[in-house]
Amino acid sequence: MTETITATAAGTWQLGDRTVNRLGYGAMRLMPMKPGNGPAERERAIAVLRRAVELGVNHIDTAAFYAVGPYASNELINSALGNPYPEDLVITTKVGPGLDPVSGKITEYGPEYLRSQVEQNLRELGRDHLDVVNLRIGDGLDRGAGSLADRFGVLAELREQGMIRHLGISNVGPDHLREAQAIAPVVCVQNQYGLTARREDDDFVKLCAAEDIAFVPFFAIASGGEHPAVTEIAAAHGVSAAQVRLAWTLHQGPNVLAIPGTGNPDHVEENIAAAGLRLSEEEVARLDSIR
């Protein structure tokens, strides 16, 4: 019988005062891509969350604006895992963007809306505090520009009030990190990053590691077309290309926390199994050379 690989195989990282397994789960893809699906879709999403936790995931990334029609990731997380939540579960959420009530599109909001967004996350998740809140800036995947001080300052105040335990920033560069650190401690940076995406952040990952800050890539396994090196290494290990990409991500440093997302019960097990995939130095070097 094949031994089940759990998220613990990836090792751990100290996220503020909480210890998390480095292989986590991102809830953005938990909902169907469009509204109109029935109760079976909801039950499948709940099953995915519960299976992820059964397999050792204790770090889940979410946001109040992860919502499609009647489906919202926060509500699904609460229904699947709450009352009570597992003691070791760390839920990270993000604020800044929100769903425009008129257009239905995700829009970046200013500092005056941040408290209400934090309160919305608390309400939907059924928590009296939020473990980690990331301030996300910018439009879509375009990196945020300009100062984040006014917005991050609001979150720092909410942290002082006990509504938030730890703070992070998302869709940012090193200058934003310095600006935020002057206001309050930063425990994580969450950016798009992967084997073939935003490799300009290679040095940013190392900078965060040097300062004991988690680097949390999103879309780490996205690929417009698979590179031959990835498929060859996957074949050699008898794994999928996505698992190779996740393993490479985890190899980038002890501070890197992978949060692959899926709404498919089979894929969640496959993603978590990547925690146990060990690449050789030669394989890592070969993958590193891909741009």
Cβ neighbours for 55, distance < 8 A, ≥ 6 positions apart: 4, 6, 7, 268, 269, 272
Enumerate the β-bridge partners of residue 20: 13
Under a CB-based contact definition with an 8 Å cutoff, are residues 171 and 138 in contact? Answer: yes
Name the token pair of 109: 């909001």
Active-site entry in 25, 66, 71, 193: 66
* Eight-state DSSP code of residue 280: -
* CA–CA separation, 31 and 25 (whole Å): 14
71 is catalytic: no
Question: What separation in angstroms does the CA of 75 have from each of 2, 135, 176, 212?
Answer: 34, 21, 31, 32
Enumerate the β-bridge partners of residue 64: none
Helix, strand counts (H, E) of the chain: 10, 13
Helix ranges (DSSP H) in the chain? 39-54, 73-81, 114-125, 149-160, 174-181, 202-210, 228-237, 241-250, 265-273, 281-288
Cβ neighbours for 197, distance < 8 A, ≥ 6 positions apart: 219, 220, 222
Which strand (E) or helix (H) includes residue 168? Answer: strand 164-170
Active site residues: 66
